[in-house]
Amino acid sequence: MNKFNKLLLSALPLFALTLMTSCDGPGTTIEDTVANQMVVEAISQMTTTQIDSFEIDVTADIDYLGKVYDDQLAVVAERHLDASGEVNVKVNDLFEDTAEGSVEVSASILAEENDEVLVNSQAGAALYLSEGWAYINLTEAEELFALVEEEAPDVLTMKTHVGNLATFLEIDPEEPLVMPIDVEEMLPYMNTIENISATQKDGELTVVYSVTMNDVVSLYMKVMEDSGEYDPSELTSDEIAEIRTMITQQLSSLFNITEVKLTIGVGEDGFLSKLYFDVDIAVTVPGGDDGGHELHKVDASLHVDINNMNKLVTVDLPTDLDTYTEVPTEEEPT
């Protein structure tokens, strides 16, 4: 065996190891309760840390179909809504005098009733912040004004001086964000969800909560317990099972879950990095004495990606901001 062959054979194990470690593997599996705790800590960090720079990208889609049936199961009315939108936010030094940022929004909507098109519109708008000035561009929002039966303003690109944003908005950026619920109180509810998949790769935690009807019932019973409506410690296992069966039957008669999925990402920096909500459900509403009913189907998604928390963000500003018309800031009433 020549020297080259020996060298090749000796390098094969290292080559194979390199291939395996460089492959896009699934990552390390994290225990459910540990993942839930990490998510709660990330939410807490988001609410208690002063955040001045960030990027947020939001995409939303909804496809809604509603049908009204008579007592013979014939469709007497039908409604359809197809809407989507995007929001892109980039901000640097939000509460400093050097604040710079952009918020760009676009949306489309198609609404139909009994095959008649009620609305078919697309619209967009943008807000920019630079050197103490706020700039608004509504040139792509004219259809929106028509939709709400309002006249579009004569000027569609305008600016106003805001100075320091914290002072202008009369807020203290160092004050923690007040949440409607204690973050730690969320843990018991998160732990009731049975189908949780949590993996960590390259410092990024991804937790997927797949909610079933069984989870909805568990959450419902947890709310009942916490509100004092029933005490499971005073009931037998059979009695608890009976209550669970009754709630399941009641909820199942109202709606059916095809998919309800919540995906939460936590970055290496401890901040939330993604928040995805995907839902595909059908809701049945009894029609009352006439014997008919309504069926509402919703297939929707809301995806939020969060990046560069308190890091330098590249903000691309339009080159024509100097052409925007100045609108004086309204004076405080005397």
6-52 confidence digits (pLDDT tens): 433 444 444 343 433 344 556 899 999 999 999 999 999 998 999 99
| Distance from C-alpha of 55 to C-alpha of 287, rounded to nearest angstrom | 46
What per-residue confidence (pLDDT) applies to 181?
A: 67
Mean of the pLDDT values across residues 188-217?
94
Q: Residue 75's pLDDT is what?
A: 93
Phi/psi-derived region of residue 301, left when phi > 0, alpha when psi is between -120 and 50, beta in every other case:
beta
Specify the pLDDT at position 21.
39
- Name the more confident of 113 and 5: 113
pLDDT of 30 reads: 95
DSSP designation for 13:
H
Residue 18 belongs to a domain = no
Instruction: Determine, yes or no, domain membership for 1.
Output: no
Closest to 272 measured CA to CA, from 43, 30, 33: 43
Q: 18 vs 102, which has greater pLDDT?
A: 102
H helical segments located in the chain? 3-22, 32-48, 142-147, 165-169, 187-190, 213-226, 237-254
How many structural domains are present in the chain?
1
Strand 293-307 relative to strand 325-326, pairing = unpaired
Helix (H, G, I), strand (E, B) or coil at 309: coil
333 falls within a domain: no
Contacts of 52 (CB under 8 A, 6+ apart): 91, 92, 93, 94, 95, 96, 173, 310
- Per-residue pLDDT of 255-301, as tens digits, reads 899 999 999 999 999 999 999 999 999 998 887 667 788 999 999 99
> In b/e form, how buried is each residue of 21-34, taking b as 16+ CB within 10 angstroms?
eeeeeeeeebebee
Average pLDDT, the chain: 87
Percent of the chain with pLDDT over 90: 66
Residue 55 has pLDDT above 60, yes or no: yes
Task: Report if residue 21 sits inside a domain.
Answer: no
Residue 17 lies in a domain: no
Do 144 and 119 touch, CB atoms closer than 8 A? no
Hey, how many other C-beta atoms are within 10 angstroms of the C-beta on 165?
20
Q: Residue 174: how many CA atoms within 13 Å on its side-chain side?
A: 1
- Tokens 């896009």 -> residue: 24
Q: Which residue range(s) make up the domain with 301?
A: 27-326
For 162, residues 6+ apart whose C-beta sits below 8 A from its C-beta are: 129, 132, 133, 134, 168, 329
Question: Are 127 and 106 a contacting pair, CB within 8 Å?
Answer: no
In a domain, 19, yes or no: no
Which positions ≥6 away from 174 have C-beta within 8 Å? 50
Q: Is residue 234 part of a domain?
A: yes
Asked whether residue 70 is domain-assigned, the answer is: yes
What's residue 26's pLDDT? Answer: 67
**C-alpha closest to that of 133 among 99, 175, 83:** 99
Rounded Cα distance between 258 and 220, Å, is 19
